[in-house]
Structure 1
Amino acid sequence: MPAAAVEYGRRMDDGEFAALVERHRAELRVHCYRMLGSFQEAEDLVQEVFLRAWRGRAGFQGRSSARAWLYRIATNVCLDVLRSRAPRLLPYQAGSPSGAGAASWLQPFPDHLREPVAARSEEPEAAAVARETMELAFLAAIQQLPARQRAAVILHDVLGWPARQTAEALDGTVASVNSALQRARATLRDHLPPGRTEWAPTAPPSDDDRRLVRRYMSAVERGDLVQLAELLAADVRATMPPYPEWFSDRESLLDALARSWDPGSAEYVGAMRMLDVPVNGQLGVAGYVRAVAGQPYLPFAIGVLRIEDGRIAELTAFHEPALFPAFLLPPSLDR
């Protein structure tokens, strides 16, 4: 390492260093989220990345390598975490519809924090981020990979890093990275929907899709099972982390909802109100519930909808009230 580069890193003051790393905060949060499948962990680990970067700033080789340097630190911070815990999943990955085994569940990610990364003249590799995807299908699939394979796929196939740069970030060889990528891609083909093995975003939601979501929100608020049945695919898959049970068809889902929407049932949840909110680059909704008339509606779940052929093919409702502030959602609704 050139002596001048080491000296440059050492002489940065707190303000200069903060400005240097802060512009990468959003993309590093996304990177940690992809690696870990947890928004809350990603938030915490970005701070750990910056702390490690500050402590190791003498090794920073100049402004042109800032992004790659921080990604390398972030990747290793995530790998340290993954050595001590199981991957995060969705309930359908952990067991049968009647009740999955105990597991840690994937979390949703707020779209407003997924800021686009513009290419800079000193960091041309940043342009590759435009190809990213944050769809739940990809996040769920990639959690099936061993940690180093996961890192290799994210750095090489998602971010577009060359094999040599990926190998440097993982302290490996080009041959080991290529081998890891080959094994990882084979695993992903088994877990991704047909035709979705390319790391590229799908088309933006259509006007018809948005209208369907509005009809879904209205049906939920009115507790209208007949209307909801018209919107669901026959083989709709529905999950609600952290509850392990999930549903693999319209009839079983409607049967469960009939009980939870019936005020006379022991399983009654309460009256619902809905807001639309983009989640993981997909159409999403925020559900609020009121168990007692006259009280405000309180945060209940953040839902992500996948639509195919004019029907809801998958519904993932994350029962994560604590995440509502991160999505800039109100703490309650009065109506």
Structure 2
Amino acid sequence: MGDAVREGDAQAFAELTDRHRRELQVHCYRMLGSFDDAEDLVQETFLRAWRRRETFQGRSTVRAWLYRIATNACLDFLDRRHRQPRPLVVPTVSRAAKPGRTSLPQVEVPWLQPYPDRLLDPAAPSDGEPDTALVAKETIELAFLAAIQHLPSRQRAVLILRDVLGWPAADTAALLDGTVAAVNSALQRARATLRQHLPRRRMEWSTTTDPSHEERAVLQRYVEATERGDLTALAALLSEDARFTMPPEPTWYEGRAAIVECWAPALVGPAGGKDWCHVPIRANRQPAVAGYVREPGRARYRALGLDVLRIEGGEIVEVTAFPPRVFAAFGLPLTR
């Protein structure tokens, strides 16, 4: 790492480690599912690294050394919090499950938060470090983040290091102070659990990072229908078995009719008649929109929520709505 760093040169330490900040934040976010917690744990990682700078002996890269510290910081955090996904409130269901279709477990991850796409590129090392692929959709989308929260913390770490980051089993075992056999066993268990919590068509999703023309078109129609208060147009955009969730609220709606019924009061009911404004954004490699509303007689729009859409075959199959407190991460104001 250099004598200057070991002797306490803070500027040299920052120059050497800051280049990895983005990818370490993504790593912590995958481990924790929370943008706010990931930011805190990155700061904890660099604080631990500074305090333990003498422990870097040069047998691995600085990047691998920092990943070890970040992973263990996340494991310590998870050991303290004991977070577990919890059952959702019984929803209003507009249809019976289709024969032969296995529904996903109806649970919520109340700490789940979206991640701004603007922070995903670049999230890779440079200046002589091994190249890291751009953060692909399948490794950062909300459905994947929610699914891995069901894994025990060490299994989660193994799955991320092995299947997402592509680390060899030996390197993963060294990072976790375990054996290759234990890592391979944990990986198999993690994969089996993950399959139970991912949407049925998840393995067919694109691994690209850019929004498709189809996604952009559907998002635009979603915005226009919402601003018009057009429930018929919104219903036409939703798949028959679409799902709507609102973390951290323990409520969900499944099915086109149930979702439209939930949305109706805000658009055309007694609380309707509002003036809507939407800002298209990207979150977790998915189309998203920040919604603002202006009450009658008011001069300014206020933030209402941020919707992240999952789109398959030209239909919206899932809408995850987050409260205004996530706007800051996207550089969005609370009023317009």
1:177 partner amino acid = V
Report the equivalent of 1:313: 317
Q: Distance in 2 between matches of 1:200 and 1:311?
A: 15
1:21 partner amino acid = T
Matches within 5 A, 1:53-202: 53-62=49-58, 65-87=61-83, 89=85, 94-97=88-91, 104-118=110-124, 120=126, 122-124=128-130, 126-127=131-132, 133-194=139-200, 196=202, 201-202=207-208
Report the equivalent of 1:290: 294
Report the equivalent of 2:99: none
Q: Distance in 2 between matches of 1:204 and 1:102?
A: 28
1:212 matched to 2:214: no
Q: 1:11 aligns with which of 7, 12, 15?
A: 7
Higher relative contact order (CA 8 A, sep 6+): 2
Is the CA contact (8 Å cut-off) linking 2:170 and 2:179 kept in structure 1?
Answer: yes
CA deviation after TM superposition for structure 1 residue 155, in Å: 0.8
1:323 matched to 2:329: no
Task: Name which of structure 1's ranges 193-202 and 324-333 shifts more when overlaid on structure 2.
Answer: 193-202
Q: Distance in 2 between matches of 1:168 and 1:272?
A: 53
CA deviation after TM superposition for structure 1 residue 121, in Å: 6.9
Deviations 1:255-285 (A, max 9, x none): 11112223525xx695432110000011111
**Closer/same/farther in 2, CA of residues 29 and 306 from structure 1, 3 Å limit:** same
Q: Distance in 2 between matches of 1:197 and 1:82?
A: 28
Q: 1:44 aligns with which of 27, 35, 40?
A: 40
CA deviation after TM superposition for structure 1 residue 304, in Å: 0.8
SS of aligned partner of 1:123: coil
Report the equivalent of 1:248: 254
Q: 2:244 aligns with which of 230, 238, 247?
A: 238
Task: Name which of structure 1's ranges 323-332 and 305-314 shifts more when overlaid on structure 2.
Answer: 323-332
TM-score (norm 2): 0.87
Q: Distance in 2 between matches of 1:223 and 1:86?
A: 42
1:329 partner amino acid = L
Deviations 1:17-62 (A, max 9, x none): 0111111110111111000000001111111110000000001123
Q: 1:20 aligns with which of 16, 20, 23?
A: 16
SS of aligned partner of 1:247: strand
Q: Distance in 2 between matches of 1:260 and 1:106?
A: 24
Deviations 1:199-232 (A, max 9, x none): 9825743213211110100111111111111111
Q: Distance in 1 between matches of 2:274 and 2:252?
A: 20
Q: 2:304 aligns with which of 297, 300, 305?
A: 300
Is the CA contact (8 Å cut-off) linking 2:235 and 2:256 kept in structure 1?
Answer: yes
Identity fraction in percent: 53
Is the CA contact (8 Å cut-off) linking 1:157 and 1:199 kept in structure 2?
Answer: no
Is the CA contact (8 Å cut-off) linking 1:88 and 1:104 kept in structure 2?
Answer: no
SS of aligned partner of 2:202: coil
Structure 1, unmatched stretches of 5+, are: none
**Closer/same/farther in 2, CA of residues 35 and 164 from structure 1, 3 Å limit:** same
Is the CA contact (8 Å cut-off) linking 1:9 and 1:59 kept in structure 2?
Answer: no
1:34 partner amino acid = R
RMSD of the TM alignment (CA)? 2.7
CA deviation after TM superposition for structure 1 residue 118, in Å: 4.6
CA deviation after TM superposition for structure 1 residue 136, in Å: 0.8
SS of aligned partner of 1:24: helix
CA deviation after TM superposition for structure 1 residue 122, in Å: 4.2
1:26 partner amino acid = R
Say how many residue pairs are matched: 323
Q: Distance in 2 between matches of 1:180 and 1:305?
A: 32
TM-score (norm 1): 0.87
